[in-house]
A = this chain, B = another copy of it.
Amino acid sequence: MGEPGNDGSGRGGRRQEVRSQIALAAMDLFAEQGFESTTVDRIAEQAGVGRRTFFRYFRSKEDAVFPGHDERLADVVERLRTTSDEADPLQVLTEIAGLVLDMYVAEPQVSLKRFELTRQVGALRDKEIASIDRYQRVFARYLRRCWAAGADAELHAAMAAAAVVAAHNQVLRSWLRAGGSGDPHVQLRVAMAVVREKFGGRDPGAGEVVVGVVRTSAPANEVRGRVEDALRHIAT
């Protein structure tokens, strides 16, 4: 979470292609010769475009790795600000996590290269982490607002926001480690169901059913018995 890469404009394939080409060239150079000593001119040259073209797509060197950082975070802030109070907050964050994931999935090659690069260049890794933290703080602030009435709302909001980000990042990391193939959205839904199981009790969604299964060596009959006990506590 935090360093999205999708263009999102309607101009389609060609624009996206040039953009990816520049981003990949930039990241190759950062990995080879370091972030500081790589110039925009060198990136443009490597990508086979002019300097002006570079700046049509990216504002800075850093922007080529983590495009549109501030704007995207501002979008999320605005979206959360205007979300209905009726909405289930963790469902809202599930959707936002899905949108962030979309941005990675839209450009697998760029996402893979970035994943590799941030493991090599500490300074970029730190920038990525700082960006992730900003999302986490925005999520925590939103949950605090939603849960303001509850006891320890601040603690729960901080923990739940951290869990949302951890779930997203875990799914993203698995997808990247597997070479960026396939659709990780199913995994994200599963992971977010776990987050909601842990933290959703503060504001349960209407009609929603979450079944959490924990592996155990107990016989299925005993599990069934315990489940039946638990069900007795649910209103019919």
Please, which residue of chain B has its CB at the minimum distance from the CB of A214? Answer: B210
Instruction: Return A216 CB to nearest CB of chain B, in Å.
Output: 5
A194–B229 Cα distance when bound, in Å, is: 17
A123–B171 Cα distance when bound, in Å, is: 29
Query: Do B230 and A213 touch (CB < 8 A)?
Result: yes
Residues on A lying within 8 angstroms of B by beta carbon are: 125-127, 129-130, 132-133, 149-152, 154-156, 158-159, 161-163, 165-167, 169-171, 174, 191, 194-202, 204-224, 226-227, 229-231, 233-236
Q: How many copies does the complex hold?
A: 2
Q: Known: A163-B163, A167-B159, A227-B231. Contact between A209 and B218, CB under 8 A? A: yes
Q: 20 other contacts beyond A202-B214, A212-B212, with CB at 8 A cut-off? A: A126-B129, A129-B130, A133-B133, A154-B174, A155-B170, A155-B191, A159-B163, A159-B195, A162-B163, A163-B163, A200-B214, A201-B215, A204-B216, A209-B223, A211-B230, A212-B214, A213-B233, A215-B234, A220-B234, A220-B235
A214–B212 Cα distance when bound, in Å, is: 9
A170–B155 Cα distance when bound, in Å, is: 6
A205–B230 Cα distance when bound, in Å, is: 20
Instruction: Return A120 CB to nearest CB of chain B, in Å.
Output: 15
Q: Known: A126-B127, A213-B234. Contact between A218 and B208, CB under 8 A? A: yes
